Structure formats: structure tokens, C-alpha cells
Chain A
Amino acid sequence: MATEILMPALSPTMEEGTLAKWLVKEGDTIESGMILAEIETDKATMEFEAVDEGTMGKILIDEGTEGVKVNTPIAVLLEEGEDASAAENVSTAPAAAEEAPKAAEEAPAPAQAAAPAVVSANLDPDYPEGTEMKSQTVREALRDAMAEEMRRDEEVYLMGEEVAEYQGAYKISQGLLDEFGAKRVIDTPITEHGFAGIAVGAAFGGLKPIVEFMTFNFAMQAIDQIINSAAKTLYMSGGQMGAPMVFRGPNGAAARVGAQHSQDYAAWYAMIPGLKVVMPYSASDYKGLMKTAIRDPNPVIFLENEILYGRSFDVPVLDDYTVPFGKARIWREGSDVTIVSFGIGMQYALEAADKLAEEGISAEVVDLRTLRPIDYDTVIASVQKTNRCVTVEEGFPVGAIGNHLGATIMQRAFDYLDAPVINCTGKDVPMPYAANLEKHALVTTDEVIAAVKDVTYR
């Protein structure tokens, strides 16, 4: 029987890719392990190997085709004795991903699946009205921000695992080695504690390092240098010297990577005086805030999100676009409830607001963008208007950013509240691997909607 060869998923977050090149042609004998094709994901070009033996019956997707969804049949493999006609009846529609048997209680749909590709609901722009915009992924915005700042300041350099020759484990530093050379784009050994410390020393010496952690999970190896050395030295030296540097990398859950690779560190770092902490959602904020982070004379923790890397947003076309720290962005104005979030939490917040609008509930959605400093005033002003607040984040519930916001709102706007503040957070469990459990472990749009209904007594 003819076997369909499907477009493979080559990374935890890949949804589609480019079929860059076929290395076999119809009629070729295929052996297991042979390289069939080169496939470009958003991160890398990967070789795709045959699993089964047979004869290449038909190539369904031409090389050079972009946006091929994962699980789309791309070729048909014939078994011994079959002729080409066996390949004719195959459709090119993506096969539905094979569903695992459902657990007894149905899990809500994954929130990210429904997110719009381009978000442009900016009610309070950080750029002049009428500015030309272009659609850019978060990944491109980050790369552009670093490149612009490296052009502007010789003392800015990038170091981390796979940032140079590999072009970035998540392709964030693509092209930087070519433009800036090995002196300024530096591959390190896998030695987070050591290279974070070297970067802190370089910053004490007056350079402005950007340290990429392949993910912030690995920064736990380096957290002593981040907190004890980078964050505290300005204070301990009576203002004589500090660490003008950026620690950046993906933070929080990606997809199905398990407990050790799926933690949100927002609340951890936001607790530390001496650090600045940034956790953007949109590409324009990634760009503008990264430029501000590199220029800031303090250590900045820049928390990115792998799932957002490939997502596109409108980014202003300006020579030097920066976004100030400590200024929240109101994505959507509303009157019934304030939903406060940051980073990928914004996805749930915005989705919930869309759905709530259909039910006649008007939600104001505030994106904090930076967690240290926090723009308390924008949150308070909004709560004073709506009298209700729900916070949304993916991190653990104990000592969450939402806890802190709730306490602040109580202190500053108690008389305005018509309901308790509800914190929607990730669950109080290590991240499970099973797909259904992982969805439940993260905050969901449905939970945000339920929380809003609770505080609006609907």
C-alpha cells in the first residue's frame, strides 16, 4: 500500500514550514535514513530523512513552496510491486493531527490556535499618528533591535550558546555574526554560570553585554551572578559601578517540553531591586523595549516567549523606535472590567475580551510590558473606571505578579472595587508533558472569561 509522507514538525512550536529542496525525484529507490528533502522551519533548515523503504511514487508539494502546514502529505512512497497509479488518490490537504484519546473531562482548546496573526489594536501608540507600519515577526523585531543598537554603540556585544555560527538556537541572532564579526557575536560553551559571570565582569569593565540564555530555564545555573553580582553591585559600591547589560532569552512554556523547560520567571526577577524586568507581547514592543534595554545603564532581564517568536504584528517603520520602561499599553478600552496581563498572557486576555464583547461585557485590556518598573497608575486609573480587575499570567500562583497587583489595587483603590481581584495564573504544579495536562496547567482563555464573569456577577 502506498505511504503518504507528511510534512514533519521539526521543532516543538513549528506549525508550518517551507519545502526548500527535494533531494530525491519520482522513481528513485528510497532507503530508510536517506535524506529526502530540506525543510526550512522558522528557526533552521533541516534535513528530512526517510523512515520507510520503497520507491518515490509522486511528489505532491513542489520545492520552494512556503507555508506548508505540518502533517500535509508532501509525497507518496510506493511499496515494492506497486505502480505509480497507487499514488494518484492522495489529497494534498493537511491531515488532521492524530488526536490522542480524550481524557474523561474535555480539555479546553489550546488558546494559541485561535490567536490572530496580526494584531493592530493600539489605542495609545508609542509613535506618531500616521507612521508607516510593516508586519514583522517578534523574531525579526528582536534581531533588528539588537543590530541597530550594535551599529550605534561599539561597546554592545552579544554572547551566548549558539548565537554566532548557528545563527541562534531560535534564530534570533540570524545574520549578526556576518555583520558584526566574531569579536562582537560570541559563541560560548554550555556554561551558563561561567559566561554570565564573565559578562557581568565585562559590564563592570564598561562594556554593554547582551547575554542570550538559550532559555531562561538554564539561567537558573547563572542566577547567582544575575542577582548577587549584576543587580546589587551598584548599591554595594555606593553608586561607583554597576552592570549595564541585558540578559535575554525565551521564558515560560513553549509546547510539550516538560517541567524543566517550561517555567515562567517573571515574578522571580520582578522581586529583585536593581534589576529591570521586561516581558513584551507584541513585535513592536519587543523592538522598542529591546532598544531601551540595551541603552539602559542597569541590568535588564528581557523575558521573551518562544511561541510568540514566529508571530507577526505591525511594527512602526522608524529610524530609531524605542519604548520607555514603566509605561503600560492599553490594547482595548472597556468599561466593565480591567484585564491586566503581560507577555504571552496578553493572548488569553485579548481573546477573552473578544469573546466577552460578544456577550456584551466590555473589557479594558492593559499590557504591563515591563514588570520592573510597573506602571501602577495606568492599572489603578483603569480599575477606578471599571471597578473590577482580573489579572492574567502563565506563572505559578504563589507570589505571582497578579498577587502583587491585587495588593496594590486594594491599597490604592479599595473603595472603587465592586468585586475581589481575581488572579488567573498557571496551576500550582510542575509542567506536565501530556498534551491535555499541559493545556490544563497553563492559564486558559476560558478561565479568564470565567473570572471576568465572576467579578461582573454575570
Chain B
Amino acid sequence: MATRKTATKTAAKPNTSAEELTAYYRDMLLIRRFEEKAGQLYGMGLIGGFCHLYIGQEAVVVGLEAAAKEGDKRVTSYRDHGHMLACGMDPKGVMAELTGREGGYSKGKGGSMHMFSKEKHFYGGHGIVGAQVPIGAGLAFSDKYRGNDNVTFTYFGDGAANQGQVAETYNMAELWDLPVVFVIENNQYAMGTSTKRSTMSPSYWERGAAYGIEGEAVDGMDVLAVKEAGEKAVAHCRAGKGPYILEIKTYRYRGHSMSDPAKYRTREEVQKMREERDAIEHVRTMLLDGGHATEEDLKAIDKEIKAVVNEAAEFAKESPEPHLDELWTDIYAAEIPQENA
């Protein structure tokens, strides 16, 4: 049964090494700089349509990826750039997909919301709020069916948490002991509607208790807390005990999408979060205060990240648009080869 916790969990003690901490800093910074660049390219008209930035939420995916092993799967919503970078997908391929070019992960046919990587076990990139939740449970089903110990991280937001299919999935995931970590990225706003205005019982993780699913709330601005909770959740799943819910309290600094003026919250609220709770600043302080890195060291990392992001942006601009023939490809898979048949 679910253990009830009222306080949001923060890491009790540093469960990491200086080396790992530096790596988390680098990974989070990559996401932030990448997203800032994406915002810039959107403003220049190089990226079209919907573009949902992950700025502010970086510690969530970086902390959880620290708890994953090779073979684990992940699936998320349309706010997916951070997840892709955190699981090791190439920033060039992601950015080129944003610009709708041949060099993108989906050859330009998916866009910001629809990217996939079989190699990195990243299963999208889903544009319908909540649809990825049963899909994530289904990916976990496939691993359980095959009898391996892989786990699927199924990410969704506080908005999706109110979708009926989430409740349907909780029920079956626990019924069938599926190895799935449900990660609720609670950034407090479902587009423009705050959790207070949308949700009767805003402690989302506690809903698992109705299905016998264990879970907890986690401070999503603390990458070490996320990592620690992730390790616990993953161990639970790998031990065959069924699903686990992590409600990760986080905050998005930008609007819901590029076209969102974010009038539903005050500038002060955002500013306060940035100044007092920023996940990257938190790690930066830990590194400096603990004497694990110097300002110079961190500057070098900043520079390195900037180069990676600029290279991705250049690639995304230079990669050609897909050939018109691509309109007609990938609608149907070819017949299953004889050896698999």
C-alpha cells in the first residue's frame, strides 16, 4: 500500500560524487541552452507550429536518467526536448526536427512534439494530453512479457493527470504489476489553468493509493532528490512489485508554448522561482561551495555547451528540407521479413 507522506521530499544527503554532480550540471545546462536557442529560432521563423520549452524543469529528466540503466524506456508528452537530450539523443537531430529538416529524428515529418529514437529507447513525443500514459504502461507490458528487468519512465503533467485514461492505466498497471514509473511533472499549470483551479485533490501522487500504487512527492528543483526518488522507484519496479508514482514538483519558466503570453501568473511569481529555486543554480552553488569546481571550470563547461548548441542550430539551419518524395514514405511498414515471420 502507498505510504503517505505530506512533505515534499528533498535529498537527505548528497547521494552523488563531484564527478556525477558536474555531469548533472552539464546535462541540465545543455537542456536550458538548447531550449533558449530553440526559442530564438522560433522567433526567427525557423521553427514553426507548436513549440513547448522545458526551461525550469531540467532537474526532472536529468535526475531520473541518473537512475536509469541501458534498456530502460521512456515516453512523454509534447514538452519533450529535455527528455530527448537527457537520454542521449543527438542535439543536432533534435534541433533539425524542430526546423523540419531532413536531418531531424523524424526526417522532418514529426516536428517538436513527435520525435522518437529506437536506439535510445525513446518512444515519443505524444501530442494528445495523456495518451502517452497507457502507451508507457504498454511498453512496460512488453518488457514484462519478455521477462527482462527493464523499466519504463512514463512522463506526464499535472494537466494529463486528470485524463480518464490515466486512471484506467493505473488500474491495469497495478493489476498486472507492470514495471512502469509514472512521473507526474507537476509544473503547477495545465496550459493556463493552475492546479488550484483544475483539481480537487492536488496531491496527484496520492491518487495511486486508490489503486494500491506506492508513490511520493519529490522536490523537482533538486536534481539529487529526483535521482534518489528515481532510484527507489526503479528498484521497486525491477523487483517485480509493479508501478510506482513520482509526483515531481517543478516549474516552467516560459509559457505553455511559444505563443502563450502567460497572463495567468505574475511576473513576480516566475522571478521568485528563478531566483530562489533554480535547479541549475542549486547545483552550481553545490559545486562551488563544496570546492568541487572553480568558476573557471564551470565557465569552461558553459562554453562547451554553447558550442554544442550552436553546432546543433547550424546543422538545423543547413540541413535541407525533406525531399518531396518523403510525403509518401513511412505510411506503411514493409512486409515483415521472412526471418522474423
Contact = CB atoms under 8 A, between A and B. Distances in A.
A452 B123 CA distance: 52
Nearest to A188: B172
A201 B106 contact: no
B99 to A, nearest CB: 14
Given A194-B168, A233-B116, A236-B114, A202 B141 contact: yes
Nearest to A205: B142
A198 interface: yes
A417 interface: no
A225 B138 CA distance: 12
Interface string A181-211: 0010000110101111111111111110000
A324 to B, nearest CB: 10
Interface stretch (B80-88, B128-136, B252-260): B128-136
Contact of A201 (B114, B116, B141, B336): B141
Interface stretch (A136-144, A237-245, A427-435): A237-245
B245 interface: no
A198 B137 contact: yes
B169 interface: yes
B168 A238 contact: no
A344 B153 CA distance: 44
Interface stretch (B223-231, B288-296, B325-333): B325-333
Contacts of B335: 295-297
Interface in B305-341: 329-336, 341
A403 B140 CA distance: 43
The size class of the interface chain B forms with chain A is 35 or more
Contacts of B334: 297
Given A193-B165, A235-B109, A295-B336, A202 B330 contact: no
Interface in A249-285: 273-274, 276
B146 to A, nearest CB: 8
Contacts of B145: 157, 183, 202, 207
A356 interface: no
A198 B171 CA distance: 12
A229 B135 contact: yes
A224 interface: yes
A229 B132 CA distance: 9
Given A188-B172, A229-B126, A238 B330 contact: yes
A228 interface: yes
B322 to A, nearest CB: 9
B123 A228 contact: no
A204 B106 contact: no
Contact of B138 (A200, A236, A237, A240): A200
A194 B124 CA distance: 18
Interface in A159-192: 183, 188-189, 191
Interface in B129-171: 131, 133-143, 145, 164-165, 168-169, 171
A298 interface: yes
A234 interface: yes
B127 interface: yes
B196 interface: no
A240 B106 contact: yes
Contacts of A296: 335-336
B73 interface: yes
A236 B110 contact: yes
Contacts of A206: 142
Nearest to B145: A207
A385 to B, nearest CB: 31
A201 B134 contact: yes
Given A205-B143, A228-B128, A194 B134 contact: yes
A201 B139 contact: yes
A238 B137 contact: no
Most B C-beta atoms less than 10 A away, residue of A188, A237, A274: A237
B131 A225 contact: yes
Contacts of B126: 228-229
B107 to A, nearest CB: 4
Given A198-B141, A229-B126, A191 B172 contact: yes
A452 B317 CA distance: 60
B106 to A, nearest CB: 4
Contacts of A204: 123, 135, 138-139, 142
B175 A189 contact: yes
B125 interface: yes
B287 interface: no
Contact of A236 (B125, B133, B165, B171): B125
Nearest to B335: A297
B303 interface: no
A236 B164 CA distance: 25
B67 to A, nearest CB: 20
A186 to B, nearest CB: 8
A224 B105 CA distance: 24
Contacts of B140: 201
Interface string B57-93: 0000000000000000101000000000000000000
Nearest to B75: A201
A197 B333 contact: no
Contact of A198 (B108, B125, B169, B332): B169
B168 A193 contact: yes
B118 interface: yes
B332 A228 contact: no
B127 A199 contact: no
Contacts of A224: 128, 131
Contacts of A225: 131, 134-135
A235 B128 CA distance: 16
Given A153-B341, A194-B165, A237-B105, 8 more contacts: A193-B134, A194-B134, A194-B172, A197-B133, A207-B142, A236-B124, A237-B330, A297-B334
Nearest first, the 5 A-B pairs at minimum CB distance are A201-B138, A197-B134, A205-B142, A194-B168, A201-B135
Interface of A: 153, 157, 183, 188-189, 191, 193-207, 224-225, 228-229, 233-242, 244, 273-274, 276, 295-298
23 contacts: A183-B145, A188-B172, A191-B171, A193-B165, A194-B172, A195-B172, A198-B135, A198-B138, A199-B138, A200-B138, A201-B142, A205-B142, A207-B145, A228-B126, A234-B331, A234-B333, A236-B124, A237-B105, A237-B110, A237-B124, A238-B330, A295-B341, A296-B335
